Chain A
Amino acid sequence: MGWVWLFATSIAAQTGSGPSFSLPSKGSEVVVRLIERIDGIESEEAGPTTTVFADGRVVVERPSYMKQAGRHETRLSPEDLRAWLATLLETGVTEFDSQRTRGDREAADRAHRLKQVGRSGTEVFDRSSASRIDFELYVDDFRAAAKGPGAEETVRKKIDWRGLRRDASRYSELEDLQSLEAAVRMTRTLGRKSIVEATGSAK
């Protein structure tokens, strides 16, 4: 990927009890990217993509079949970017582990079945579509501060999950899923706000 992680400029320090993190020194570096693969649509175009850069740019690219199709770009101030990222990290998404979450999901399914008395009356769930998301996060580990000076770590998180809405709704007890769903929702919201700012229209 050719990522060069330079931390010459630490633009954020721990504020209150929030997480500590640093951003890449190059403004062109990606901090967060969300790619949504829309389920049920036949198209060669990629789904909507929201990318947040280290310099605060928020770029939203939407396929031709969506409202506000095309490329939209706005910029967050360094403070706003820092505040937004802090909130994002507070979701706990950096702790997300897909293998562990799959295991937890299967365990929840087993437990659910065990609760049922016989097959008759057993409750089942379904969502007819299960869109896939690719969520990428590239920041310094906010835990670095707790680990002492110079203990910075790079967080490079890339998560691919199908049916996040369904799973977050069905497995409300699984924190990883709630964290991921919250982070994805935040990124979507940021993208929508950016479009509004860029176009002056919410529709």
Chain B
Amino acid sequence: MYSILPIRRSLLLALSLGWFFQVSTPSLSWGGAFTFAGESNGTEVVTHPTGYTGTGGTLTVSVCIDSSSPDAADMEIPVRNVVANWNARIPTTGNLVAGAASELSPGEFDFESVALHEVGHCIGLAHTNAASESGLSGNDRNYTKATDGADNTFDLDAGTDGVIGSADDVRGDDVNLHWFRTATNDPFTIDSVVDSTTYSQDLADLPVGDFFPANADRSVATLLGVPNSEAVMQQGTFSYESQRTLVHDDIATLRYAMSGLNEVAGDSDDYDLVLDYIGQATSCDIKLAFDDAETGFAVCSTSGVFVNAEHIRISSANVYFNTGFNWYFNSSLLGCGDGVLDAGEACDDGNQIDGDCCSSTCTFEAVGSVCDDGSACTETDVCDGVGSCTGSLVVCDNGLFCDGEETCDPASGCESGTPVGVDDGISCTDDSCDETLDVVLNVANDTNCDNGLFCDGSEVCDAALDCQAGTSVAVDDGISCTDDSCDETLDVVLNVANDTNCDDFNDCTADSCDAVLGCAHETIEGCEIPVDATGPTSRFMLYALMVLLGTIGAGAVVTGPGDERG
């Protein structure tokens, strides 16, 4: 492998060898994030395509193939594709296609990929990496674009991740030329607004923890999780590899220029760049040709003029290629049907099919023309005249409440809803859905709580608290001489008159129990109670005691002495 020594080391080597070893000094005025940015012209220089004077609007730049160039016919499709890509400005990732997948054969260079890069130079973009013009060699060329600063030596330290060109590079006093997104310092993202409010060259605007702007080198891409991606404007082309689409960083840099002289997007000096391929010609703003006298491989040769102190407009631009290489010429035209809106196309929906509102020739189909928007949820689809197919929504509602709300899937159409939930979690309620009233009913039902027993009372259903125990049935009838009980077999309360409960211990009364009236003590005629044993005083005391003890009821007839007990 050939190693190109940095210029100062080369000089030392030459002197030490005592040769007439003559070396060139790389001019640091070339290149940068924008062509011409550097120590000579200013690190902050922004370069604009041919024709921009500071007035906003559409900026049309003509592109042609030199009609006298070798391989002019083969260049046609790739150049048209290049123009389409720069016009569409669609950021992509995974834009490196290597090996057999690239369509190329080993040892071939993809003309379209190289032309995409060189035309980028011709509209004002420089290499995003240090590149060969830095005088650095090998992988050191992949450090982010910068000048070598006050010490006139590039300070190169890949940082802790060891990846050259990443955010943790330590660059000493090197002066950054790369415009980076202040929010992320990720060249594989792009802000919706690209201007001085969102992009910067000032290292003070880097996210906390970053040391230097990351460039969109393929190794950095892998580090950032987007493998096989690289900025088109990164210098370094491999054979047997194609790179035909732009990444975010390519587009961001161009859009920064498009924010105009005040570097603020959205005002009157903004321009919309449109490259216009005019075919083979002898003159145009960007002319492409094979000319071995002009380049050893490929080059964009430009001149420019200062519009003001920090803005340069390209005044001439020519791309040259060397015939000595195995060039592969893509024969697939991007254009109508490729999904990229090119000049001359009203629309491009990625196909060449009629009936989808963007015709096979990339014109809008008429308002009301029948189309199919591909959705099963719409019907009677028609074109709106500006490329969209719209239809009225299909009604999926079956009018029923209880089977839930029907939905629509664009692929399969109407789908049943989920029946409404009726279960309230209360076991004793009768749950149902009322289709008439469109409500869910949860009705308390005591029978759901019945435990089948009589004597413990009737259980009830509480709609909030679930089953509640009943109150035991009352058995006391208030009649002291009845025997009170609850019969679980017959489900009745029994109050059975029991005469023994009425014994007043008077032999001269006949004691009985009436279930309604209570005890009765009927005097037995002719019955006498012996005096000695049952003197009036003693019998009375006994009677009183019994009353006090509750053995007999008050009012009971206490018979006289000599009563017989039956």
Contacts and interface: CB of A to CB of B under 8 A. Distances in A.
Contacts of A98: 22-24
**Among the interface residues A43, A48, A98, A127, which one has the most CB atoms of the partner chain B within 10 A?**
A127
Interface string A25-66: 000000000001111111110111000000000000010111
Interface of B: 1-2, 4, 10, 19-27, 29-31, 35-36, 40-41, 106-109, 114, 118, 121, 126-127, 132-133, 135, 235-239, 292-309, 312, 315, 323-326
Interface stretch (A71-79, A141-149, A158-166): A158-166
A102 B25 contact: yes
Among B22, B236, B304, the most chain A Cβ lie within 10 Å of the Cβ of: B22
A96 B29 CA distance: 24
B107 A65 contact: yes
A41 B240 CA distance: 12
What 4 A-B pairs come out closest when comparing CB atoms?
A98-B22, A128-B121, A131-B296, A44-B1
B309 to A, nearest CB: 5
Contact of A41 (B19, B21, B237, B303): B237
Binding site of B, secondary structure by majority: helix, strand, loop or mixed? loop
Contacts of A66: 324-326
B24 A162 contact: yes
B21 A158 contact: yes
A165 B306 contact: no
Contacts of A193: none
B10 A160 contact: yes
Given A42-B236, A48-B324, A125-B304, 6 more contacts: A40-B114, A41-B237, A65-B107, A67-B324, A163-B133, A165-B293
B343 to A, nearest CB: 24
Q: For chain A, give the interface size range.
A: 35 or more
Interface in A113-157: 119-132, 156-157
A65 B325 contact: yes
A97 interface: yes
Given A124-B305, A126-B31, A127-B30, A40 B237 contact: yes
Interface of A: 36-44, 46-48, 62, 64-69, 96-99, 102, 109, 119-132, 156-163, 165-167, 169, 185, 188
Contacts of A169: 301
Contact of A162 (B26, B41, B238): B26
A169 B295 CA distance: 12
B19 A165 contact: no
B325 A161 contact: no
Given A126-B36, A126-B304, A40 B31 contact: no
Contacts of A121: 305-306
A87 to B, nearest CB: 18
A161 B41 CA distance: 23
Contacts of B304: 123-126
19 contacts: A38-B296, A44-B2, A65-B325, A66-B325, A67-B323, A98-B24, A121-B306, A123-B305, A124-B29, A124-B312, A125-B301, A126-B303, A128-B126, A128-B301, A128-B302, A129-B297, A156-B19, A158-B21, A161-B24
Contacts of B309: 119-120
B323 to A, nearest CB: 8
B326 A67 contact: yes
Nearest to A109: B40
Contacts of A166: 301
B36 to A, nearest CB: 5
B298 A129 contact: yes
A92 to B, nearest CB: 15
Contact of B299 (A44, A64, A129): A129
Contacts of A48: 324
Contacts of A42: 236-238
A126 B324 contact: no
A108 B56 CA distance: 36
B303 A124 contact: yes
Nearest to B311: A120
Given A40-B237, A130-B133, A120 B307 contact: yes
A119 to B, nearest CB: 5
B19 A158 contact: yes
Contacts of B118: 128
B207 to A, nearest CB: 30
B185 to A, nearest CB: 25
A40 B326 contact: no
Nearest to B32: A126
